[in-house]
Amino acid sequence: MSTTATTKPVPITVAHGDGIGPEIMDATLRIITAAGAQLAIEPIEIGEAVYKRGLQSGIEPASWESLRRAQVFLKAPITTPQGGGFKSLNVTIRKTLGMYANVRPCSSLHPFVSTKHPNMDIVIVRENEEDVYGGIEHRQTNQVAQCLKLISRPGSKRIIRYAFEYARVNNRKKVTCFTKDNIMKITDGLFHRTFTEIAAEYPQIESEHWIVDIGAAKMADTPEAFDVIVMPNLYGDVLSDVAAQITGSVGLAGSANIGDHCSMFEAIHGSAPRRAGQNLANPSGLLHGALLMLVHIGQSDAAERAHNAWLRTIEDGVHTYDIYKDGVSKKKVGTAEFADAVIARLGEKPQVLKPAAYARGVSMDLSMRKAGPVPQKQRVGVDIFLDVPAGNPDALGAALQRLHVAGTRLTTISNRGTKVWPDGNPDTYWSDHWCARFEGDGGTFSAAHTIALLEAVSRAGFDAIKTEGLYTFNGERGFSLAQGE
Ligand code: NAD
């Protein structure tokens, strides 16, 4: 058959999960094993039962050891109990094990599964660790709360290189980047600039950038215009669900969470508790996660056999309830019978749909290339954020100008990013969250200036809720201007 037959069993950690999890995991493992996958399975328990034993994280310490040892994790969906401060296990696992890339192929199965987009075949590559998902949030005034959006250069380089390497190895023609860098020029701007730099190393692959709003609209309307799309975390979170949904069903998609050491493979849907234990659920999403896993561990032959048999099953109209449609489908089956139907077709190929063809013998080169020279960083000022409940820009400007800290000057005051002093617009709404920007008065601006300003501000009776240093990098401004500045 293949190299697969002679491959030594690869250790993988498997969690059967909650709700429909055990049924779809059994079906998935039966299919891939019959297709020739060589796996040494280490089962672990995660999810509801573990949460109920009082572990807020939903995972036992011993399970971490299995994950670190095997480095490959096939995970069925779990139920996160409502309320009670339980942590999302998925986020915990991804972040703890450094799974920086989320990969979600979404292709339509027209005419066998109804979709408005018969020619859709895209892969969303989502950055998985950064952006607002650090969950670093603060409420510092009565009226205003904030969430910190962090985008790093190494984090961007790594995910963008992953997207291009994925395209190269899987013979994809184009990589598109979505950001909102017309507004977030520094954070999303960094992601976009990094994309442009890395794209230059792949002249054989077309590259393009879209602003995320219009890009998302285009993707929902004409997905066939895209191939691989790489995005920061939040846009990727939202748009990967949109992409899966418009193929016809979220129940069909799988995803991979890739890290340098450990990777996790799963269905994108949840544990569907109402369908549990009834032999109803469609195992296709988890099967797709498992196919990504087989390619990841070098068992592409088994992945291809299982994938082609699955395509043939779908073509033959053997469908679970979620995709069953009178006139198109031929036979409504349960989870176990669907798996049997796929296994019975191993060795066959689809006749209408494009057969799966996984790359062999080409591996990704994800080495982080040498970092460029460290730029010259210079402090040029400070933003001091103030909680002033009944503030008024002119009074605040006058009071802050009276602080007289030598070597500094107040340059602007803004409120939620809009300049209100000097020369503010009377129609601008003011919250209690103000930002006073101080810069050097002719000379250099030091940390001592920041400390002196903070002391002066608090002596004057203001509540300074936070500071942000203002820096330039090789002379380039590393901070945004306020709207209207
Ligand atoms: P869900 O994805 O479980 O269900 C949404 C809808 O899709 C339901 O109507 C369900 O019946 C249907 N559905 C889902 N998977 C299906 C399948 N394989 N075959 C047929 N129909 C399927 O989402 P939900 O109801 O919002 O969440 C249920 C539980 O799952 C919650 O506890 C949630 O926290 C958890 N969840 C877990 C994961 C994960 O472990 N990765 C992801 C999402 C949600």
Q: Does 455 score more than 60 pLDDT?
A: yes
Single pTM value for the model: 0.91
Nearest CA to ligand 1 atom 31: 79
Q: Is residue 319 within 6 Å of ligand 1 at its C-beta?
A: no
Residue 122 CA from chain centroid, whole number:
16
pLDDT average, residue stretch 183-188:
97
**For residue 268, how far is its CA from the centre of ligand 1 (angstroms)?**
8
Write down the pLDDT at residue 3.
42
Please report, for the chain, the start and end positions of each structural domain, with discontinuous segments joined by +.
10-344, 377-477
Nearest CA to ligand 1 atom 5: 272
Write down the pLDDT at residue 2.
40
Sign of CA dihedral 340, 345, 351, 357: positive
Ligand 1 atom with minimal separation from the 272 CA: 3
What percent of the chain clears pLDDT 90, i.e. is strictly above it? 81
Q: Is residue 79 within 6 Å of ligand 1 at its C-beta?
A: yes
**For residue 245, how far is its CA from the centre of ligand 1 (angstroms)?**
13
Report the topology of domain 377-477.
Alpha-Beta Plaits (3.30.70)
pLDDT tens column, 333-362 = 999 999 999 999 999 999 999 999 998 877
pLDDT average, residue stretch 194-216:
98
| Cα distance between residue 280 and residue 321, in whole Å | 7
Write down the pLDDT at residue 126.
97
pLDDT higher at 411 or 247: 411
**For residue 275, how far is its CA from the centre of ligand 1 (angstroms)?**
9
pLDDT tens column, 131-163 = 998 888 999 999 999 999 999 999 999 999 999
Nearest CA to ligand 1 atom 16: 251
Q: Is residue 288 within 6 Å of ligand 1 at its C-beta?
A: no
Counted residue by residue, the chain has a size of: 485
**For residue 130, how far is its CA from the centre of ligand 1 (angstroms)?**
25
Tell me the average pLDDT of the chain.
93
Nearest CA to ligand 1 atom 41: 77
pLDDT band at 6 (very low <50, low <70, confident <90, very high): low
What percent of the chain clears pLDDT 70, i.e. is strictly above it? 98
Q: Is residue 165 within 6 Å of ligand 1 at its C-beta?
A: no
Coil, helix or strand at residue 40: strand
Report the topology of domain 10-344.
Isopropylmalate Dehydrogenase (3.40.718)
Q: Is residue 80 within 6 Å of ligand 1 at its C-beta?
A: yes
pLDDT tens column, 262-318 = 999 999 999 999 999 999 999 999 999 999 999 999 999 999 999 999 999 999 999
Q: Is residue 282 within 6 Å of ligand 1 at its C-beta?
A: yes
Q: Is residue 322 within 6 Å of ligand 1 at its C-beta?
A: yes
| Cα distance between residue 148 and residue 184, in whole Å | 13
Ligand 1 atom with minimal separation from the 17 CA: 40
pLDDT tens column, 240-268 = 999 999 988 778 999 999 999 999 999 99
**For residue 371, how far is its CA from the centre of ligand 1 (angstroms)?**
42
To the nearest 10°, report the CA torsion of 263, 265, 270, 273.
-110
Nearest CA to ligand 1 atom 39: 77
Write down the pLDDT at residue 214.
98
> ∠ CA 21-27-30 to the nearest 5 degrees?
135
Nearest CA to ligand 1 atom 8: 272
pLDDT average, residue stretch 393-419:
96
Cβ contact 464:458 at 8 Å: yes
159-190 residues labelled b (16+ CB within 10 A) or e (exposed) = bbbbbbbbbbbbebeebbbbbbbeebeebbbb
Nearest CA to ligand 1 atom 20: 281
pLDDT band at 1 (very low <50, low <70, confident <90, very high): very low
Strands 72-75 and 263-267: parallel
| Cα distance between residue 177 and residue 383, in whole Å | 32
Domains 10-344 and 377-477 share a fold: no
Q: Does 76 score more than 50 pLDDT?
A: yes
Residues 6+ apart with CB under 8 A from 84: none
DSSP state of 200: T
Write down the pLDDT at residue 308.
98
Ligand 1 atom with minimal separation from the 321 CA: 20
**For residue 283, how far is its CA from the centre of ligand 1 (angstroms)?**
12
pLDDT average, residue stretch 392-402:
95
Q: Is residue 15 within 6 Å of ligand 1 at its C-beta?
A: no
Longest distance between any two alpha carbons in the chain, whole Å: 83
Write down the pLDDT at residue 53.
87
Q: Does 478 score more than 90 pLDDT?
A: yes
Task: Provide the strand spans (E) within 68-142.
Answer: 72-75, 99-107, 121-127, 137-139
Of 49-58, 220-229, 396-405, the poorest mean pLDDT is in 49-58
pLDDT band at 370 (very low <50, low <70, confident <90, very high): confident
**For residue 326, how far is its CA from the centre of ligand 1 (angstroms)?**
24
Nearest CA to ligand 1 atom 30: 270
